[in-house]
Structure 1
Amino acid sequence: MEANTGNQSEEVAVVTGGNRGIGLQICKQLASNGVTVVLTARDGKRGGEAVSIILDTLGLSNVVFHQLDVSDPSSAVRLAEFIKQKSIMQQLLGRQLTSATEKLSGERLVNQQELNNIDNLSEERLDELSELFLKDFKDGELERHGWPTEGGFIAYKVSKAIMNAYSRILAKEHPSLCINCVHPGFVQTDMSFQVGDLTVEEGARGALMMALAPKGGMTGGFLNCTEVAPFV
């Protein structure tokens, strides 16, 4: 995203979950590339500590913190107001909006084909699918109705698949922006109990590649690490 501040034009990035893991590494790399970074996290103390680490260890001054809980709409509104008041961003001008995400596995997921039918998919239908999944989960009907049940983390996988689909809807509705999904790979983070094939530096590469790409590039796409891949 691009911001007009006075007579200068500077790149600005808002990073969710920026206090640790891949998010923190993305903040470091973007800041090192001259991008003004708004590091966000649910926990204000941890977010502030993360900003201090970046400023102290890298000797940078282009990182600020703002609290954000993505599950709380009022929190998102406060962040938007903060950005406006600080004149950080007047409008989005085709920069990359990326989401670190994960492909949905499972060959038998009936709704998977529907999630991939972007021409007929809507936000309302995504809400309905979310409710259907929750109902099937509570009723013990996941396998019978075709949801993925192998490998564990079922709710996580489905939520990511729905988020992937939502990104494609947004890309279609806002063609002037570049909105993409990135699967970082199996990364060594706290979430994975430091077990994984990739370091956080390696896991951040795809999101950084998208965030720093020239305007007018790919939109509505999916990257598996740093390679373009199909959603399904």
Structure 2
Amino acid sequence: MAAAISRPPSTRVAVVTGGNKGIGLEVCRQLASSGITVILTARDEGRGAAAVAELKEAAGLSDVVFHQLEVTDAQSIALLAGFLEARFGKLDILVNNAAIGGVQLLPIEGPDDGSAPSGEKFSGMDARQMAEWMRTRCRPTSDAARAAVQTNYYGTKNVTEALLPLLQASSDGRVVNVSSDFGLLRLAREPRKHRSERRAMQHFSNEELKRELNDVGSLTEERLDELLSLFLRDFEAGVLGARGWPTEFSAYKVAKAAVNAYSRVLARRHPELRVNCAHPGYVKTDMTRHSGLLTPAEGAGNVVKVAMLPEGGPTGAFFALGEEAPFV
């Protein structure tokens, strides 16, 4: 028998995937600081429990609960859904933050030998130079590409679909899919204060593919499945450039573009919910090897701003650094 709901119905409940570090941990901190009960999820139970203890002990945030979640595991997702149903009976906010880089990281040579260089490494670099530094210290592999598609797209989709009934039980259910300007069909320029020398460049050179991904009125989840399968076949065959796919950080870009497209399809299918994408900015995290322009707290603030939009706000939208922006 399900346990009784432990919070008043008026208490807002949020789930954050990949919540044990980086942007996810800061999203949990900021949501909990706003009086929301937060379920912090992570693959690793020890790291997730330690993150909750940190929030409780260091920040005094008592309404944070840990639940294990592997977004690529159907049973793990089902256990989370069952826990939420039994304890709260609803879900108000779902922040799909869990993601991986889609590349194999190479060792960093020299005085910064290891996986994460010191902050001094990036002193004087602009965003373009940092991204180039990242590019030369990773390698695309088929295994990493498949893992990125499974985690970044299907993990996001499968968690969302499993929790839809709980989101619909809320009076104001909302989904925030943490995306990236790498998921745009072309790279958008950052606002001037973050732009530096970063140049606009095409991610997808296949115009037909771009039109299809941007045609939210006709695009279906089934077609997204077909396109992702085609991408992985083209990756294996070494013909990404010839077929008009992104050629650098390709799996991450394609998976995030698919998340953007799915978010729009979902928003159309469920107009009673608020479903939006949020680009937090170029943030100093493990995924970026601590390059970047923003701290995790700053990046999380751009996500939380979307999660906390006024009732009746936009749905099916893309937000860059907290401001609504085009998907293309």
TM-score by length of 2: 0.67
Matched, 1:84 2:85: yes
Matched, 1:109 2:206: yes
Secondary structure, counterpart of 1:10 in structure 2: coil
Matched, 1:95 2:173: yes
Shift of 1:231: 0.3
Q: Distance in 1 between matches of 2:8 and 2:53?
A: 28
Corresponding position of 2:21: 20
Q: Distance in 2 between matches of 1:180 and 1:138?
A: 32
Question: Which runs of structure 1 show a deviation greater than 4 angstroms over 4 or more consecutive aligned residues?
Answer: 4-8
Matched, 1:194 2:272: no
Matched, 1:175 2:271: yes
Shift of 1:8: 4.4
Corresponding position of 1:204: 300
Paired AA for residue 33 in structure 2 = S
Corresponding position of 1:143: 241
Query: Structure 1 residues 8 and 167, CA, compared in 2 at 3 Å: closer, same or farther?
Result: closer
Shift of 1:6: 6.2
Q: Distance in 1 between matches of 2:7 and 2:51?
A: 28
Matched, 1:33 2:34: yes
Q: Distance in 2 between matches of 1:17 and 1:6?
A: 24
Shift of 1:92: 2.8
Q: Distance in 2 between matches of 1:88 and 1:29?
A: 23
Aligned CA-pair RMSD = 1.4
Corresponding position of 1:66: 67
Corresponding position of 1:123: 221
Q: Distance in 1 between matches of 2:245 and 2:37?
A: 41
Secondary structure, counterpart of 1:204 in structure 2: helix
Paired AA for residue 78 in structure 1 = L
TM-score by length of 1: 0.93
Q: Distance in 1 between matches of 2:48 and 2:220?
A: 34
- Is the deviation greater in 139-148 or in 109-118? 109-118
Structure holding more helix per residue: 2
Checking the alignment, whether the CA contact within 8 Å between 2:6 and 2:87 is kept in structure 1 is no
Shift of 1:109: 3.1
Matched, 1:215 2:311: yes
Unmatched 5+ stretches in structure 1? none
Corresponding position of 2:252: 156
Secondary structure, counterpart of 2:11 in structure 1: strand
Secondary structure, counterpart of 1:157 in structure 2: helix
Shift of 1:88: 4.9
Unmatched 5+ stretches in structure 2? 91-165, 187-202
Deviations 1:90-121 (A, max 9, x none): 61322331011113342513412211000000
